[in-house]
Amino acid sequence: MMVVPPTLFFALAIVAAGSLVWGTASGDAGGPVGHMHDVAGELSSNIKGMAAQGLAKTNALALDPRLPGVIAAGDRGAAELLANDLLRGSLELDIVAIFDAEGALLAINTIGHDGVPVPAEGVQKIYAADFSQRGVIQGCLRDVTSKSRMEFQMQCDFTPPYFGSSGLSVAFSAPVSMAGDAGRAGVVSTRLNFTRVSTLLGENAFVRAGNAVFLVSDSGGFFDENINSGHTPAPLTADQVGATLRRDAPEGAGNIMVRRDNMVLMGRRVAATSAIDGGGINVLLRASEDWVRGEEMRSKRLAAGALLGSLLAAGVWCLYLAARSKQHRAQSALTAERARTSLILENLGESVLSADTTGRVGFANLAACRVLGFEPGSLIGRELKDLFAEDAPPSLDAPWRTEQTTLRRHDGSLFQARITCTVLPDGAGGVVALNDLTEKLETDRKLLEATRQAGMAEVATGVLHNVGNVLNSVNVAACVVAAKLKHSEIPNLVRAGDMMNEHRADLQQYLCGDERGKHLPDYLIEVARALGSEQKSMIEELEAVTKGIEHVKHVVNLQQEHAKKSTVIELVKPSEVMESAIQLQLDSLNRHGVGIERRFEPMPPVTADKHLVLQILVNLIANARQAMNDLDPGLRKLVLVARSDHDGDVSNLCLEVIDNGVGIPAENLGRIFGQGFTTKKDGHGFGLHSAANAAAQMGGSLKATSDGPGTGSRFILTLPISPRTMAHAPAGR
């Protein structure tokens, strides 16, 4: 499409508007003067056309083959009929007269061109007059060229008797030839319709604006009945009229314009004639200078408006072209973007298809065809519901929807898929993105199995770790019992019994008179006391062993019950569970010279899994004792805290284990509870991980804080306190 550049269009508009301004507002070629030229030319052309038609009709009657016979026979009635037939419906003529070969009047029309009869008195006056010597008639009879002629007469003797008017006349005369061109049979003479000419002169905007138009002869006579008869004075002087006439100019010559007496006059030759009277016919226009100036000003305003309109049109066109250009660029960009989007969608790894409001597929990329087992392009036009195994296809009028469903491939096989549906913005359907879950489901199954195996291994490792912590304490207690039994006083008691058994017969004499026998009762008393002390000590150690074995049993049971997801919830006194943890590690703490400081706030029992709490505390105490190995025995200090923490309506139990050992670097605080993380040479990284999991299992948390290496560490076990327990449980230490 060819588009005119805005700058060229703007230049053309300026040139056109400038030409319009110059042509309409300056010089004689435009403005009101130009309008007068146009009116003069138009009137001249119209009058000449009317005269030519009148002359042609006159010639047509002269050439009528019936007319020579009618004239020769002197048949006035037949001649009148021919004259009436010519005039009927003819606007150009108002008189038709037929003369014989002597120039005498034979007949004249008795009806007008409008069909109205001519007054009989006028007709009789015409017939009574003698016109045989009229020069125009005699000239036609004598003219051997057989040419018709036009005559402009100011004092015609033919019309006054007929119309009761002045002698003003424009007459047409045509000779009537006899058969075989044997001479003249007569003459047909007609007159131009005055009324029609006056109408032509007045039917224009120039006259309606208050100006005037006249017909004048070369001699300056006005073609106007009132002026010609003297009833109305001439509107212009002879000098004014004469200045506008060019008597020697041919027909169609240029106009003559003069400015006189605050008037603009313009004359134009209509026709030249060799008639004996009157000469040529001219159109004369008269306008006032005020009208001319007003029209010139109006023309300038119109030209300025045209210029402004042209500039406005140029501006609008430029804006239109700019908008079209912008629209074209936007359309090109949109087309390119659509092509790029289509290419991306077509080659996207995700399966995408679209459907219209009737549920028919309108687009399916290569991935969708591949997943559903169709050839590229073969999905177009298929029903969306045919792709679903049992469930109805999703509604495409929802803004966004994701679900898992079963789809059917082209070969009939079924598979699980996750589909995401959304409606198109224009409401013309929707888009469905689908993801084949076959591989994912298989991967998830394998991952679940691997996770289960890893979970079982983790649980087993945690169990072994916790059992190992308790067995350390049990082993220490067993060693203590074994050592005491090894150094027990029981063998000495057996020897004392043997000595008494040897002197059973003289036991009294032996105990009273023998030196060794005298000391035996005191010895037995001391041995009994020593055995009593040994018994008490071993009972305490055996109780510690029993508790440790019980805890081991619970840890094993806990692992066995893990798959059942069941726990034993009971009322636990915070101070008692802290003491139990201390007792399980007490021998080890004493042996390593660790001082213990207890900070237990009085608080009621809380609901918790006692053995899980104990498992966590034993692990934390064991880690704290190991963290202080680098300190001298007298400097090792373990602080155990049991307190409550209130945050608004939430109450928590906080159990803290604080040591002054090696501390924890800042970069390890976020990793310390991760599985397998450890800083010990012989560590395995499962203790704190399992402790944190146990805390989370009870709805609590396990956190660690430290100011860095060499500053010790603080481990805080936080457990939620049940409001019901706080309200009904008795207070305890």
Dist. CA 287–CA 292, nearest whole Å = 7
**Predicted local distance difference test score (pLDDT) of residue 621:** 94
* Structure token digits, residue 46: 């119209």
| Residue 293 structure tokens | 């100036």
- Give the pLDDT score at 564: 45
pLDDT for position 620: 93
Q: What is the Cα–Cα distance from 291 to 39, expressed in whole angstroms? A: 15
C-alpha angle with apex 582: 576 to 583, nearest 5 degrees?
90
What's at 478, amino acid-wise?
A: A
Give pLDDT tens digits for 258-309: 888 888 898 887 765 544 344 677 888 898 888 888 888 887 787 788 778 7
Of 3.40.50.1100, 3.30.450.20, 3.40.50.300, 3.20.20.220, the CATH number of 348-436 is 3.30.450.20
CATH annotation of 570-728: 3.30.565.10
CB 185 within 8 Å of CB 72? yes
- Predicted local distance difference test score (pLDDT) of residue 636: 93
Tell me how far CA of residue 178 lies from CA of 31, 66, 71, 186, in angstroms: 56, 11, 10, 8
* Spans of the chain, pLDDT less than 70: 1-30, 144-146, 152-159, 161-168, 181, 246-254, 271-279, 348, 390-401, 426-428, 444, 447-470, 472-473, 484, 551, 554-567, 684, 722-733
- List own/partner pairs for 394-403 with CB under 8 A and 24 or more apart: 394/419, 394/421, 394/432, 395/421, 396/355, 396/357, 396/359, 396/421, 396/423, 396/429, 396/430, 396/432, 397/423, 397/430, 398/422, 398/423, 399/423
Cβ-contact 286, 211 below 8 angstroms = yes
3-state secondary structure 606-672: EEECHHHHHHHHHHHHHHHHHHCCCCCHHHCEEEEEEEEEEECCEEEEEEEEEECCCCCCHHHCCCC
- Provide the angle, in degrees to the nearest 10, between the axes of the packed helices 515-562 and 574-591: 120
On whether the CB atoms of residues 350 and 427 are closer than 8 A, the answer is no
Compute and round to an integer the Cα radius of gyration of the chain: 70
Type of residue at 535: Q
How far does Cα 667 stand from its chain's mean position? 52
Cα–Cα dist 200/192, whole Å: 13
Q: How many CB atoms lie within 10 A of CB 113?
A: 21
- Provide the residue type at 694 as one letter: A
Pick among 3.30.450.20, 3.30.530.20, 3.40.50.2300, 3.40.50.300: CATH of 50-196: 3.30.450.20
